[in-house]
Amino acid sequence: MPVVTRFAPSPTGYLHIGGARTALFSWLYARHTGGKFLLRIEDTDRERSTNAAINAIHDGLGWLGLDGDEPALLQSSRADRHREVALDLVKRGVAYRCPVTPQELEDRRNAASLLRQKRETDGHLSPEDGEKLDALLKPFRSPWRDPKKELPAGASTVIRLRMPDEGEIVVDDKVQGRVTINATELDDLVLMRSEGTPTYMLAVVVDDHDMGVTHVIRGDDHLTNTFRQLPIYTGMGWSAPEFAHIPLIHGPDGKKLSKRHGALGVDAYRDMGYLPEGLKNYLLRLGWSHGDDEIIPEAQAIEWFDLDGLNKAAARLDLAKLNAVNAHYMSLANDQRLADLFFARPEGASLNAAERERFQAAMPVLKTRSPTIADIADAGRFLTDLRPIKLTGKSAAMVNPEAIERLRGLAAGLDGLPDWSEPAIKEEIARYCAEIGVGIGKIAPVLRAVLTGGAPSPDITLVLALLGRNECLARIRDQTG
């Protein structure tokens, strides 16, 4: 049977970094096996689902190159099918109509809470109250699950799944291993609300079945849902997919990733200047491994990826490692692509024509010094420093009378160069150093200070070539008079 995986986010916000990793794993497994990767938008929560969030999900997946192989399925469009299955389950005796109201359930919870408080305050409960609390704390099994019990006339009802009365529910998980739970520990969950709308628990099972999903890769916070969903598969006589519940991503402190750990949405990482290939490579290694390999290009990832490589231990977000991985892909990226991305950012868009030309020419060097697109601005700061450059500290101390005299002599030679290119500049500096009998080490540091103010910069001859003849001579004259 061909492999079919899916990514099924709820459109209640941006594409979370953890969701992006789940989508990546699902996409890679489909590609590795020659199967299909499908996308489903689970918008059963009509109050919280928004079109803006749906667009953000598509935008994030598109940026990462993780589009589905078919048009995305909107779960809300299948409500009739979900109702059909719910009614079928009732006919099969696997589900039942229940008139217990939300208020009755709330009263049940409140009664249990009051008894717990009483036990905490008094240190004990009477035998009668103890029995009441034990009964209230048990999983909810409605008295109306008995098919012989007649429903109240005109009562509004939900449809509940009749959980097994005994035995174990077993999940043979590709990550967690064999996990079991006693069926009596589970509530009779609601499949359809009283107004006729399906719940997530029902919709996800029906949609996975109808879409032909063979493998469900999702966060391990869904493992408890799986135990509740499996009886639906059994009740309908359907084969359940294989499950792989991956640990959630944790922050550097080992706690569940949250807003306090920084940017969480894929759009935020894009805005910070990461490349999609860099972020994907990093996410791949958050919970999956292939020996000690860290840099794994997409083609190699497709060849190697398998569920056996998924880790059971939670991975920790490490921005320093993300920067290192992204820096690798920055160094390999097309210069024009990086220039276009940089010029689209505020710090790049503010450059004038001459500055843009310098950055464009310097990109082969700047990209090797920039972990992200955003860092290109700092790496190329020497290209945009406003004249006259203010020298301070060590840089200012270098420009002594002897250095000034040497710089004036060098400037005269550079001014007469017929060809302003790296080779010609390098040759002229070497000629001048030989003429005055000093090594280049006596010229280069002070020249760098004068031209860049001590800012990080590449080889001094490249700095000269990138700044251009007029700008270089002007900067030297600013400091030498």
* C-alpha of 375 from chain center: 20
Q: Mean pLDDT score of the chain, rounded to an integer?
A: 91
**Two tokens, residue 296:** 């794994």
- Work out the percent of the chain whose per-residue pLDDT is above 90: 70
C-beta of residue 429 within 8 angstroms of C-beta of residue 461: yes
Residue with tokens 């004259």: 477
Distance CA 183, CA 359 (A): 65
* Stretch (H or E) spanning 6: strand 4-7
Q: What is the pLDDT of residues 99-152, one digit of tens each?
A: 988 777 776 777 767 777 777 777 777 777 666 666 666 788 888 888 888 888
**Two tokens, residue 308:** 């056996």
Neighbours of 126 (CB within 10 A): 10
pLDDT at 29 over 80: yes
Q: Does residue 382 or residue 61 have the better pLDDT?
A: 61
pLDDT band (50, 70, 90) for residue 9: very high
Q: What is the pLDDT of residue 270?
A: 96
pLDDT at 288 over 90: yes
C-beta of residue 329 within 8 angstroms of C-beta of residue 416: no
Distance CA 427, CA 171 (A): 72
C-beta of residue 218 within 8 angstroms of C-beta of residue 10: no
* Stretch (H or E) spanning 325: helix 319-332
Q: What is the pLDDT of residue 260?
A: 67
pLDDT at 306 over 90: yes
Q: What is the pLDDT of residue 184?
A: 92
**Two tokens, residue 344:** 């689209």
- Strands 190-192, 158-161: parallel, antiparallel or unpaired by DSSP? antiparallel
Instruction: Identify any residues that bridge with 310 across adjacent strands, giving them in sequence order.
Output: 288
Neighbours of 344 (CB within 10 A): 10
390 is catalytic: no
User: Of the listed 259, 280, 390, 442, which one is catalytic?
Assistant: 259
Q: What is the pLDDT of residue 131?
A: 67
Q: What is the pLDDT of residue 261?
A: 65
> Residue 321 burial by CB count (10 A; 0-12/13-18/19+): exposed, middle or buried?
middle
Backbone angles phi, psi at 73, to 5 degrees: -95, 130
pLDDT at 47 over 80: no
Overall pTM > 0.95: no
Q: Does residue 128 or residue 342 have the better pLDDT?
A: 342
Q: What is the pLDDT of residues 388-436, one digit of tens each?
A: 888 888 888 999 999 999 999 999 999 999 999 999 999 999 999 999 9
How many residues comprise the chain? 481
pLDDT at 325 over 90: yes
Helical H runs in 191-243?
200-210, 223-236
The mean per-residue pLDDT over the stretch 4-32 comes to 94
**Two tokens, residue 184:** 């009596």
